[in-house]
Amino acid sequence: MGYTVRPIDPQFLAEEVLSLWSRNLPQATFERYAWLYGRSAASRAWLLLGPNLRAIGSTGLMPRRMSLCGATHECGSAIDLNVDREHRTVGPALALQRSLVRDAAQGNLPLIYALPSPNAVPVMRRLGYVAIGEMRRWAKPLLAERKLRSVLKRRWLSYPAGFFADKWLEISSAERRFSLPDGWTFELAAGFNSEFDALWNRTRGAFGVVGERTTAYLNWRYRDYPDWASRLYSLLDSRGHLHGYAVICVQGELANVSDLWFDDDQSLHAVVGAILRTGRAERWAAVSFPVLAGPRVTDVLARFGMTPREDVRQVFAWLSPTLDAETRRVILDGTAWYLTKADSDTDV
Do the domains at 4-128 and 136-310 have one common CATH topology? yes
Q: Cα separation of 289 and 296, whole Å?
A: 15
Q: Is the dihedral of CA 74, 80, 81, 83 positive or negative?
A: negative
Rounded to an integer, the average pLDDT of 19-38 is 93
Q: Nearest-CA neighbor of 236 among 189, 190, 275, 273?
A: 189
Q: What are phi and psi for residue 196, nearest 5 degrees?
A: -70, -35
Q: How confident is the model at residue 52 (pLDDT cuts 50, 70, 90)?
A: confident
pLDDT over 70 (residue 191)? yes
Q: Tell me the average pLDDT of the chain.
A: 90
pLDDT over 90 (residue 126)? yes
Q: What are phi and psi for residue 33, nearest 5 degrees?
A: -60, -45
CB 97 within 8 A of CB 127: yes
pLDDT tens-digit readout, 86-124 = 999 889 999 999 999 999 999 999 999 999 999 899 999
Q: Nearest-CA neighbor of 255 among 286, 217, 219?
A: 286
Which alpha helices (H) appear in the chain, and where do they start and end? 14-24, 30-37, 90-106, 121-126, 145-152, 155-172, 194-203, 215-218, 265-282, 295-303, 325-331
pLDDT, position 320: 96
pLDDT over 90 (residue 172)? no
Q: Can you tell me whether residue 9 is helix, strand or coil?
A: coil
Q: Nearest-CA neighbor of 175 among 259, 282, 256?
A: 282
Topology of 136-310 in CATH? Aminopeptidase (3.40.630)
DSSP label at residue 202: H
Q: Where are the domains of the chain?
A: 4-128, 136-310
Return the CATH number of 4-128, one of 2.60.120.580, 3.40.630.30, 3.20.20.140, 3.30.300.20. 3.40.630.30
Q: Identify the H or E element spanning 81.
A: strand 71-83
pLDDT, position 240: 96
Percent over 70 (pLDDT), the chain: 90
pLDDT over 50 (residue 259)? yes
The amino acid occupying position 178 is: F
pTM: 0.91
pLDDT over 90 (residue 143)? no
pLDDT over 60 (residue 228)? yes
pLDDT, position 231: 97
Q: Cα separation of 55 and 20, whole Å?
A: 8
Q: How confident is the model at residue 170 (pLDDT cuts 50, 70, 90)?
A: low
